[in-house]
Amino acid sequence: MSEHETRIEADEKVPTIEIVREFDAAPERVFRAHVDPELYAQWVGPRSLSTRITRWDARTGGEWAFANDRDGEEIATFYGSFHEVRPNERIVWTFTYEGHPDVVALETLTFEALEGGRTRLRTLSVVGDFETRDGIMASGMDTGVNEGYDKLDELLAKDS
Amino acid sequence: MSEHETRIEADEKVPTIEIVREFDAAPERVFRAHVDPELYAQWVGPRSLSTRITRWDARTGGEWAFANDRDGEEIATFYGSFHEVRPNERIVWTFTYEGHPDVVALETLTFEALEGGRTRLRTLSVVGDFETRDGIMASGMDTGVNEGYDKLDELLAKDS
């Protein structure tokens, strides 16, 4: 398995964060790892935490929620809505950390087919102001993203 | 009933639209006119169109959709998710016009109590780039907003 770099970029002109990552699996499999709750719980987030799905209805108009546990103890919960689930192509969801209930990110994930059965996944995350965006960037989210995508690489290699 | 001005403002620094409007009714009633589908259909949008609710589950994690008809013929459909419904205080929903399926706005409505049993309603609408935001501003949305809020004034005066 090749090593893939994750690019995490804050835009200068708009309060967005773009994350781009390639995977050695077809869009169908990378997409499925985002909508199947058993798969999603296996890879999302940093290695130090486990994910427990508490609500999951991965369809346009559905909702989701999960908790993060460390050593069996809940330390954070998150929730949102699936605005759109377009099979194998695109997911648009909202995202709130319950510790900051007034902050809502709108995230658009696009699954682009590359040669050789690979996928480029882009996540564009939008919030309403730069202060909020910069706070998210400074929160250590890069560790969760990087370690999560490494776990997703491992899952995709295993389940092929 | 007093005449109220609707302020619709595009921010220079972020791709948002803020709409501010006061109503001569308490937050509970203005809020209810946004979550009760029978009330919502009576006032939302321009006077030239009627609104037909096709999906409506106004709770955190629920979904909504409606169609606009002119002379009995469907001319546009819209859908989204209720990311959060915080009774009498705040609604966060997503919004897509099905004619532009890749454009998603994240809207936050806050219901602020004013003296004399009145309400200030603020709607902050966020999209991912300025071009999209400017396109929404140029779409004639101001007519729908202004006429809709005038209809909401009439509804609030009637049902008091």
Per residue in A5-54, pLDDT (tens digit) is 999 999 999 999 999 999 999 999 999 999 999 999 999 999 999 999 99
Supply the pLDDT for residue A1: 45
Residues A96 and A89: beta-carbon distance below 8 Å: no
Do A14 and B16 count as a contact with CB atoms less than 8 A apart?
Answer: no
Supply the pLDDT for residue B140: 87
Assess: ipTM above 0.90: yes
pLDDT, tens digit (0-9, with 9 covering 90-100), for B70-126? 999 999 999 999 999 999 999 999 999 999 999 999 999 999 999 999 999 999 999
Residues B124 and A128: beta-carbon distance below 8 Å: yes
Nearest-CB residue to B81 (from A55, A61, A101):
A61
Q: Determine the Cα angle at A10 with ends A124 and A42, to 5°.
A: 50
User: Where residue A159 falls among pLDDT bands split at 50, 70, 90?
Assistant: low
Domain ranges in chain A?
7-158
Taking CB atoms and an 8 Å cutoff, what residues of chain B touch A15? 14
Taking CB atoms and an 8 Å cutoff, what residues of chain B touch A131? none
Residue A140 pLDDT > 90, yes or no? no
Do A60 and B83 count as a contact with CB atoms less than 8 A apart?
Answer: no
> Using CA atoms, how far apart are residues B66 and B127, in angstroms rounded to an integer?
21
Residue B134 pLDDT > 90, yes or no? yes
Residue B1 pLDDT > 90, yes or no? no
Residue B17 pLDDT > 60, yes or no? yes
Taking CB atoms and an 8 Å cutoff, what residues of chain B touch A10? none
B 39-78 residues with CB < 8 A to A: 55, 60-63, 65
Percentage of residues of chain A with pLDDT beyond 70: 98
Residues B77 and B64: beta-carbon distance below 8 Å: no
The answer, for B16 touching chain A at a CB cutoff of 8 Å, is yes
Supply the pLDDT for residue B2: 52
Minimal Cα distance from B84: which residue of A? Answer: A80
The answer, for A15 touching chain B at a CB cutoff of 8 Å, is yes
Supply the pLDDT for residue A110: 98
Taking CB atoms and an 8 Å cutoff, what residues of chain B touch A108? 104, 128
Q: Which of A50-64, A87-101, A142-156, B146-160 has the lowest mean pLDDT?
A: B146-160
pLDDT, tens digit (0-9, with 9 covering 90-100), for B36-78? 999 999 999 999 999 999 999 999 999 999 999 999 999 999 9
> Using CA atoms, how far apart are residues B65 and B24, in angstroms rounded to an integer?
28
Nearest-CB residue to A80 (from B13, B83, B108):
B83
Taking CB atoms and an 8 Å cutoff, what residues of chain A touch B15? 14
> Using CA atoms, how far apart are residues A25 and A3, in angstroms rounded to an integer?
13
Residue B159 pLDDT > 80, yes or no? no
The answer, for A23 touching chain B at a CB cutoff of 8 Å, is no
- Which amino acid belongs to residue B9? E
- B7-158 is a CATH 3.40.50.300 domain: no
